[in-house]
């Protein structure tokens, strides 16, 4: 039997046997797959696609189609989304996951390029292809949402199964010519904004403000989304990679080094990441940059604001928590940062909506104190952050995982808007901070320059 025939038989059997549940899920192990998860995703004839992989591809997931979709309906977006998803979990007997994210600021007013993402969007895909590096297993999952009748459900899924493609060739390499670049703010305005931040740091209770930039790169053709991710993964294996594609021309894409939190039942992990230096291909220069970061009082202070707030939040959310005694330096391909891990056992009241409300935004992407920093960010930034630096990940029946969507960009046809930010504290040099935000898009730039 072909994969289509096997899958059809499996889905039919499940639909006919599980009439009592609104949502059911089936798994079909695939053998002799000589393609990557990204190759498979690139060949699928669906507009809506999602891709997630953790560090070093220990677990990869690619999905297509929408079986069910959730947006917030009230101003309490975390509570609203979490409540709706919990209602869905009560209607299933499978280990289902809703994938998606939130905007950085709580708003429902967006420029056109962010409108398809909205203030929140979580999707239960129709099909998920998962590969576990440790076992080498590749499994195709199907999430079945029951229609009004069994016959309607069978008809819908029969049609969706026929859209799947399993004759896979290599993903085409990128072949783009860069035509133009526009920065918002430009360097002159950036320097003025940093001056304003320094005035607030001197004359208020502010300790840190994270200002960001939107850099719009225009190419000579539409950007092949999966080809760009394939290149991005090859140069950033130590990051969490993600794509949320809302149609053939719009996708949010990134390779973030920063986890907001990972929860398995009542156990939680998090990390504080801040302070930055570039990397160098010259070993001596690379060691000098490492020593420079290690001895930087300004960067240690910037990191400390992040860690102290995260540690305080974990203490309030957990029965008990523990953290690394000192930060260490995380070396990535293009950058290096101070990092400190933290973990804990959650209180029963610490549900995922409370975790998100408490932890986002961290001082690594907002500032400290949070509310004062966010007010100044909204006053000084002349672009919409959209989903940049916001929680992106999944809710599952026995856990949840969210990254901080930094080192990210928004694809809109021929345009790639790249976002990067820098933490401004007393002692920050405006020109060095401009170079830092340039360093933070170096991974993307190295692909197409």
> Which residues are part of the catalytic machinery?
208, 258
Burial of 74 (0-12, 13-18, 19+ CB in 10 A): exposed
Are 295 and 302 contacting, i.e. CB atoms less than 8 angstroms apart?
no
Q: Where are the alpha helices (DSSP H) in 257-340?
A: 283-294, 297-317
- Residue 59, beta-bridge partner list: 132
Are 326 and 338 contacting, i.e. CB atoms less than 8 angstroms apart?
no
Nearest to 208 by CA among 423, 358, 421: 423
Return the C-alpha torsion angle 229, 234, 236, 240, nearest 10. 50
Q: Which two tokens stand for residue 258?
A: 């920063």
Q: What is the DSSP letter of 136?
A: -
Q: Are strands 408-412 and 250-256 parallel, antiparallel or unpaired?
A: antiparallel
Q: Which two tokens stand for residue 105?
A: 């600021």
Sign, CA torsion 216/219/223/228: negative
Phi, psi for 132 (deg, rounded to 5): -100, 120
What is the end-to-end Cα distance of the chain in Å, rounded? Answer: 47
| E strand or H helix that includes residue 102 | strand 97-102
Q: How far is CA 113 from CA 109, 118, 444, in A?
A: 12, 10, 20
Helix, strand, coil tally for the chain in percent (to 5): 35, 35, 35
Are 139 and 130 contacting, i.e. CB atoms less than 8 angstroms apart?
yes
32: left (phi over 0), alpha (psi -120 to 50) or beta: left
State how far the Cα of 171 lies from the Cα of 39, in Å rounded to an integer.
Answer: 6
Are 310 and 272 contacting, i.e. CB atoms less than 8 angstroms apart?
yes
């Amino acid at each position: 039997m072909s994969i289509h025939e096997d899958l059809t038989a499996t889905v039919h059997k499940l639909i006919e046997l599980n009439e009592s549940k609104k949502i059911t899920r089936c798994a079909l192990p695939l053998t002799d797959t000589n393609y990557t998860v990204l190759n498979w995703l690139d060949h699928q004839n669906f507009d809506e696609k999602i891709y997630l992989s953790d560090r070093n591809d220990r677990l990869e997931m690619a999905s297509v189609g929408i079986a069910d979709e959730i947006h917030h309906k009230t101003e309490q977006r975390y509570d609203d989304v979490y409540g709706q998803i919990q209602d869905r979990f009560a209607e299933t007997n499978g280990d289902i996951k809703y994938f998606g994210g939130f905007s950085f600021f709580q708003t429902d007013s967006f420029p056109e390029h962010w409108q398809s993402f909205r203030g929140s969007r979580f999707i239960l895909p129709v099909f998920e292809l998962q590969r576990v590096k440790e076992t080498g297993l590749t499994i195709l999952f199907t999430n079945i949402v029951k229609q009004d009748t069994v016959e309607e459900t069978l008809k819908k899924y029969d049609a969706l199964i026929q859209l799947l493609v399993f004759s896979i060739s290599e993903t085409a390499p990128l072949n783009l010519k860069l035509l133009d670049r526009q920065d918002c703010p430009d360097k002159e305005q950036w320097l003025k904004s940093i001056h304003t931040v320094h005035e607030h740091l001197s004359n208020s209770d502010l300790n840190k403000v994270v200002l960001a930039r939107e850099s719009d790169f225009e190419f000579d053709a539409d950007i092949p989304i999966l080809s760009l991710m394939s290149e991005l993964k090859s140069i950033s294996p130590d990051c969490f990679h993600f794509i949320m594609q809302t149609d053939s021309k719009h996708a949010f894409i990134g390779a973030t080094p920063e986890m907001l939190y990972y929860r398995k039942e009542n156990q939680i992990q998090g990390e504080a990441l801040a302070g930055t230096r570039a990397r160098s291909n010259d070993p001596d220069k690379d060691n000098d940059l490492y020593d420079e970061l290690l001895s930087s009082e300004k960067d240690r202070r910037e990191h400390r604001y992040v860690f102290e707030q995260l540690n305080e939040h974990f203490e309030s959310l957990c029965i008990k928590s523990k953290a690394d005694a000192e930060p260490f330096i995380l070396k990535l391909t293009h950058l290096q940062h101070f990092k400190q891990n933290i973990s804990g056992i959650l209180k029963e009241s610490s549900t995922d909506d409370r975790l998100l409300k408490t932890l986002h935004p961290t001082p690594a992407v907002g500032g400290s104190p949070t509310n004062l920093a966010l007010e100044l960010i909204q006053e000084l930034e002349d672009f919409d952050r959209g989903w940049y630096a916001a929680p992106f990940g999944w809710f599952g029946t026995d856990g949840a995982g969210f990254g901080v969507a930094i080192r990210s960009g928004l694809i809109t046809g021929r345009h790639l808007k790249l976002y990067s930010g820098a933490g401004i504290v007393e002692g920050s040099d405006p020109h060095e901070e401009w170079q830092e935000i340039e360093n933070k898009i170096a991974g993307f730039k190295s692909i197409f320059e």
